[in-house]
């Protein structure tokens, strides 16, 4: 079997409502799928992390830089191809866009392996510890509203996510430490006393600000505090972990085993959030997972993007070994975006129906036992939302 073509599909549409996180507001939803075509009629699908114009740069890397390195090769030689691409790109980017681009290609190669063998990715990487996973719904994105109005929006939205059946929820912060604490108080009011909620800062604080917000979040019994400081500030993460009781989560902006080694060795995180569509694909995710386990750090995957990313993560979560294990092990959760996202809800020929399953099953979703990750994009949908570049 040979790789015949490596193709990027960038999808985009205008959101009905502008949404934001601590770094920016955005008006468009973007998706970036990678299709690897073989000479035997089998096609694999992957996805690259990277919204907006970053997706355009990643498309060029996928099609013009990586494709020539792997064209005509056996797609089942996943690791050989991974290392060839990484070695050739090492001088030009050990993190960021080259690795995001490689991630989408690698996921597609795993999908091909699944289709060739008839096995799901969860079976291929070691088997299924669980047939269903609990789902947390994130929402409470920033809007350009006055704090008073935004507090009400957050309180209502948090209550709605809880009543939709999700097992936990996650909010954004980023207006400033004092305002952010008020937003977190609103979310706690919305979900009531016994429901877990998490807080995602997208690295908008200094260490001092993060200590202030973190202490308030401890009072509110928030479950984790995500990306409180810049991902480069490993000493800042260490300080927060020493001084705060709340779980410190992060890692979505870290890449490859070499980047993750530093985060984990320095004990920066209580909860590691590897992003498979960014850190180097499934091949590299498995190595990062081994590192996290070697450092006894709990893993709850970061999930963002289309139904291909969600389906891939479902497979990974099914195969995630409990750490440290026991009769009642701590279960991982699927991260799920509750905001408007056609690329997650309407992209596939057979939709995942996450929201319906969550509502029916007390917050859980079944892991499909299908070849590969099982996500097959609808060609007409791809054409309709294609961004021409
Ligand atoms: Ca995040």
Question: Into how many domains does the chain fold?
Answer: 2
Going by pLDDT thresholds of 50, 70 and 90, the confidence category of residue 389 is: confident
**How far does residue 226's CA lie from ligand 1's centre (Å)?**
6
168-177: pLDDT as tens digits: 999 999 999 9
| 371: in domain | no
| 134: in domain | yes
| 259: in domain | yes
List Cα–Cα distances, 222 to 28, 140, 330, in angstroms: 30, 15, 17
How far apart are alpha carbons 349 and 306 in whole angstroms? 13
Are residues 340 and 195 both part of a single domain?
Answer: yes
Give residue 330's pLDDT.
87
The 3-state DSSP composition of the chain as helix, strand, coil percent (nearest 5) reads 45, 20, 35
User: How confident is the model over 258-278, as a mean pLDDT?
Assistant: 98
> Residues with Cβ within 5 Å of ion ligand 1?
200
**What is the span of the domain harbouring residue 68?**
3-118+379-385
Give the relative orientation of helices 207-219 and 234-243 as an angle to the nearest 10 degrees: 30
Tokens representing 291?
Answer: 């590192």
Are residues 108 and 184 both part of a single domain?
Answer: no
- Tell me, what CATH number does 273's domain have? 3.20.20.120
79-112: pLDDT as tens digits: 999 999 999 999 999 999 999 999 999 999 999 9
Average pLDDT, the chain: 97
**How far does residue 161's CA lie from ligand 1's centre (Å)?**
18
**Contact by Cβ (8 Å): 329, 130:** no
| 128: in domain | yes
**Contact by Cβ (8 Å): 234, 268:** yes
**Contact by Cβ (8 Å): 184, 150:** no
Are residues 289 and 167 both part of a single domain?
Answer: yes
**How far does residue 117's CA lie from ligand 1's centre (Å)?**
34
**How far does residue 227's CA lie from ligand 1's centre (Å)?**
7
Determine which one of 302, 328, 364, 384 is catalytic: 302
Are residues 142 and 96 both part of a single domain?
Answer: no
Q: Is the pLDDT of residue 114 over 90?
A: yes
Q: Is the pLDDT of residue 67 over 90?
A: yes
| 373: in domain | no
How far apart are alpha carbons 183 and 180 in whole angstroms? 5
Give residue 115's pLDDT.
98
Q: Is 83 a catalytic residue?
A: no
Are residues 208 and 246 both part of a single domain?
Answer: yes
């Amino acid at each position: 079997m040979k790789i015949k073509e490596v193709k990027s599909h960038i999808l985009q549409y205008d959101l009905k409502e502008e949404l934001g996180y601590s770094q920016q507001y955005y008006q468009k939803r973007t998706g970036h799928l990678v299709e690897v075509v073989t000479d035997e009629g089998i096609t694999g699908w992957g996805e690259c992390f990277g919204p907006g114009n970053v997706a355009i740069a990643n498309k060029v890397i996928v099609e013009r830089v990586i494709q020539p390195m792997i064209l005509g090769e056996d797609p089942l030689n996943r690791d050989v191809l991974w290392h060839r691409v990484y070695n050739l790109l090492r001088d030009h980017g050990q993190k960021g866009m080259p690795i995001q681009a490689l991630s989408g290609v690698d996921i597609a190669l795993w999908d091909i392996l699944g289709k060739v063998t008839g096995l799901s990715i969860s079976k291929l990487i070691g088997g299924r510890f669980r047939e269903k996973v609990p789902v947390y719904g994130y929402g409470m994105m920033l809007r350009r509203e006055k704090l008073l109005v935004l507090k009400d929006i957050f309180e209502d939205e948090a209550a709605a996510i809880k009543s939709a059946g999700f097992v936990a929820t996650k909010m954004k912060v980023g207006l400033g430490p004092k305002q952010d604490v008020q937003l977190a108080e609103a979310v706690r009011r919305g979900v009531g006393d016994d429901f877990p909620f998490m807080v995602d800062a997208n690295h908008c604080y200094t260490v001092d600000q993060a200590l202030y917000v973190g202490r308030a979040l401890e009072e509110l019994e928030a479950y984790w505090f995500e990306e409180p400081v810049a991902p480069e500030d490993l000493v800042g993460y260490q300080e927060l972990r020493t001084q705060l009781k709340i779980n410190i989560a992060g890692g979505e902006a870290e890449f490859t085993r070499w980047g993750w080694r530093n985060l984990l060795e320095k004990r920066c995180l209580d909860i590691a959030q590897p992003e498979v569509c960014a850190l180097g694909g499934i091949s590299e995710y498995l190595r990062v997972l081994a590192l996290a386990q070697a450092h006894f750090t709990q893993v709850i995957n970061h999930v963002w993007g289309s139904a291909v990313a969600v389906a891939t993560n479902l497979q990974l979560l099914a195969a995630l070994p409990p750490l440290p294990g026991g009769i009642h092990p701590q279960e991982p959760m699927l991260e799920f975006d509750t905001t408007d996202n056609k690329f997650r809800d309407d992209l596939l020929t057979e939709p995942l129906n996450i929201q319906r399953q969550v509502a029916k099953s007390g917050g859980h979703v079944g892991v499909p036992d299908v070849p590969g990750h099982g996500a097959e994009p609808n060609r007409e949908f791809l054409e309709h939302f294609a961004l021409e570049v």
